[in-house]
Amino acid sequence: MIDRPRRFGGWTGALAGLVAVTSVAAQEAPPLQVPAKSVPVPSDVSPQMAKIIGAPLRSNWNIQPKTGEAWKPVAEAGAAALAKLVPGMLERLKVKVERTTIDGVRAFILTPEEMPPENRNRLLVHVHGGCYVLNPGEAGLPEAIFMAGFGRFKVISVDYRMPPEATYPAAHDDAITVWKAATRMADPKNMAVFGTSAGGALTLAMVLRAKQEGLPLPAAIAPGTPMSDTTKVGDSFVTNAMLDNVLVSPDGFCDDGAKVYANGHDLKDPMLSPVYGDMHGFPPTILTTGTRDLLLSNTVRVHRKLRDAGVEAYLQVGEGQSHAHYIRDDTAPETRKVFEEIAWFFDRHLGR
Amino acid sequence: MIDRPRRFGGWTGALAGLVAVTSVAAQEAPPLQVPAKSVPVPSDVSPQMAKIIGAPLRSNWNIQPKTGEAWKPVAEAGAAALAKLVPGMLERLKVKVERTTIDGVRAFILTPEEMPPENRNRLLVHVHGGCYVLNPGEAGLPEAIFMAGFGRFKVISVDYRMPPEATYPAAHDDAITVWKAATRMADPKNMAVFGTSAGGALTLAMVLRAKQEGLPLPAAIAPGTPMSDTTKVGDSFVTNAMLDNVLVSPDGFCDDGAKVYANGHDLKDPMLSPVYGDMHGFPPTILTTGTRDLLLSNTVRVHRKLRDAGVEAYLQVGEGQSHAHYIRDDTAPETRKVFEEIAWFFDRHLGR
């Protein structure tokens, strides 16, 4: 049994610094004092997912590189580690990948060994995550491989420019350049865009920008746990802090990554905080998050905004999962189910 | 900025007692030590919802009555307070209510003043929440009023028997008795069942039982934050403990209420923990929960189970909301949106 707390130890108020940041509109009630917790790995997940959920907090979550040059070695070390996992993923999921350049933008083309007839005229565009500073090259591929493999779609994954090579709007420009090119390769009615975290935000931003520029829209999108609000508004930035073992804190590495990419550009611009964008006319959208995700609120807020705009929008939430846990291990049944759900949604909304 | 915790105060381990309960299948990693937090009311909710979210923890959350007789004064005091709010709700939402008895079961019939033509042959059945021990009589009506008012449907609300009057399976029997009678009043293809918390679990249990008994199934259901697992499995039982200001703790009042109703019956029986039931053949289902809900996991686990069974299932999650916050204040825009979403889902799946 849990005793009702009447006094609090030294860590009370550890997150109190967030109050000033998140309470943009003053809400009168005093903050709730939540005691420290010892949180076990949930029993109702697969052994593979239990391993991901049970991992300690990301070791470098509180580094705060302030320049693109300072990010570079961090990104390179992370990418080298991730890239090693790619060949195994490609083999297990029977996906082939080739590097290419599309209208000057670096990209990869992923093709499943077997493509069902209904997917032969379909084409997906993928934008990877990593706080706009991480996962260059092959390191950005896991989610694209999972989608190509579990969904058996052809996928173009955009290896967009990041700091120190370039800052905002370079990644956005590269993504929209590839989108434009892709709409000449297939019928946009047969196409979808997807991505996780910064890639989820880019997915939403691509639709906002396509609307602005009068470009064809995709027939569906799948933003996974999108960084939809870089201004730190969202309840789970507080409630899931120090619980999400990937992003860990709203003041952690990802915040600095986004700021370095923004390079002074207003973070409330819907291009960087798409939850503030006008979502009328958006294509059907499937959103993915987890119960421990620091961006749980930023995902459900996008869902609500889409529904308010009359858009068909569908939400899936992974039990016990922190930020983007579903793009870690293709052998976890939870991973397969997330991508099968997205594939089901795409199949429902894409032409053939 | 949040410091990374290296030492923990007196409240570390306050929830450690849960480990033994939830780790039915041993998951190897050590528990994550989450420091105490000071959690403000989120800035991105309406003033009405901010008031609900900002309320202190329910004052009697840790009472633990062990008999129906001990629950009775608690239920009566709560019901008297809630019943006072009902006339205002009926007036604002333009709904009429009459008491009745259906095949021996106490019930209410709710009728909106104006019913659109497409709803005239439709009929909804409502089962209220309250841990199987609370909200007798008018106190069980708010959700039924919101559905009748915002959705403009005719609703039968079941005032089922509870301890000390009767224990399991009395509430289940009453609910299914009313369902059977209702299927003689309207075409089941034009009908839906809904309810929140214990009422969400009853909604799921009614479908399981209708399947077993070969009764007609409703065309859609809306279990809100269902008590789908009374065995305390579910990650948010830990992660949202002391944060959800309604249920507060898996070891709080609601657990005892369910046990008093179960009266020794196996809590893992799908009638009392419907997440373990066979959901093949279930009708389209819309589930509602909140980011701070103690039953967030129990809601998303049902969503996943339904999808695994090939059922069309749709999830909505309220920003910052604890357990069943959406049935508190009909003047909160968030409340209206939740019921409009359920009405949209019913309209999509019910015949006319």
pLDDT at A8 over 60: no
Quick one: pLDDT at residue B14?
36
Q: Tell me the pLDDT band of B4, cut-offs 50, 70 and 90.
A: very low
pLDDT at B1 over 90: no
CA-based nearest residue in chain B for residue A5: B11
Quick one: pLDDT at residue A27?
63
For residue range B66-118, what is the model confidence (pLDDT) as tens digits?
Answer: 999 999 999 999 999 999 999 999 999 999 999 999 999 999 999 999 999 99
* Contact flag A9-B8 (C-beta cutoff 8 Å): yes
User: What is the percent of chain B with per-residue pLDDT over 70, rounded to a whole number?
Assistant: 92
* Contact flag A238-B40 (C-beta cutoff 8 Å): yes
CA-based nearest residue in chain B for residue A20: B40
Quick one: pLDDT at residue A28?
78
The amino acid at B228: S
- Give chain B's domains with CATH numbers: 44-349 (3.40.50.1820)
* Contact flag B29-A36 (C-beta cutoff 8 Å): no
Quick one: pLDDT at residue B27?
63
The ipTM, to two decimals, is 0.92
pLDDT at A7 over 80: no
Which of A1-10, B1-10, B254-263 shows the highest mean pLDDT?
B254-263
| CB pairs A-B closer than 8 Å | 305
For residue range A22-62, what is the model confidence (pLDDT) as tens digits?
Answer: 444 446 799 999 999 999 999 999 999 999 999 999 988 99
Average confidence (pLDDT) over B193-207? 98
Quick one: pLDDT at residue A21?
37
Quick one: pLDDT at residue B23?
43
The whole-angstrom separation of Cα B275 and Cα B161 is 23
pLDDT at A18 over 80: no
Count other Cβ atoms within 10 Å, centred on residue B175. Answer: 25
Residue B129 DSSP class = -
Interface test with B, best of A6, A27, A63, A298 (most B CBs within 10 A): A27
Closest by CA to B288, choosing from B299, B277, B279, B298, is B299
Chain A residues with CB-CB distance to B57 below 8 A: 4, 32
Closest by CA to A166, choosing from A178, A175, A156, is A175
For residue range A250-309, what is the model confidence (pLDDT) as tens digits?
Answer: 999 999 999 999 999 999 999 999 999 999 999 999 999 999 999 999 999 999 999 999
User: What does the mean pLDDT of chain B come to?
Assistant: 93
Of B9, B28, B57, the CB nearest to A36: B9
Average confidence (pLDDT) over B324-350? 98
Q: Which two tokens stand for residue A152?
A: 């058996």
Average confidence (pLDDT) over A153-167? 98
* CB-count exposure of residue B34 (10 Å: 0-12, 13-18, 19+): buried
Place of tokens 């039924």: B144
Which CA distances in Å does B173 have to A173, B164, B196?
62, 16, 18
Chain B residues with CB-CB distance to A39 below 8 A: 15, 31-34, 238-239
Q: Which two tokens stand for residue A94?
A: 């029977």
The whole-angstrom separation of Cα B217 and Cα B209 is 10
3-state secondary structure A241-293: CCCCCCCCCCCCHHHHHHHHHHCCCCCCCCCCCHHHCCCCCCCCEEEEEECCC
Q: Which range has the worst mean pLDDT, A121-125, A240-244, B8-12, B298-302?
A: B8-12
Q: Which two tokens stand for residue B98?
A: 């009459």
pLDDT at A217 over 80: yes
Chain B residues with CB-CB distance to A17 below 8 A: 1-2
Backbone angles phi, psi at B115, to 5 degrees: -120, 120
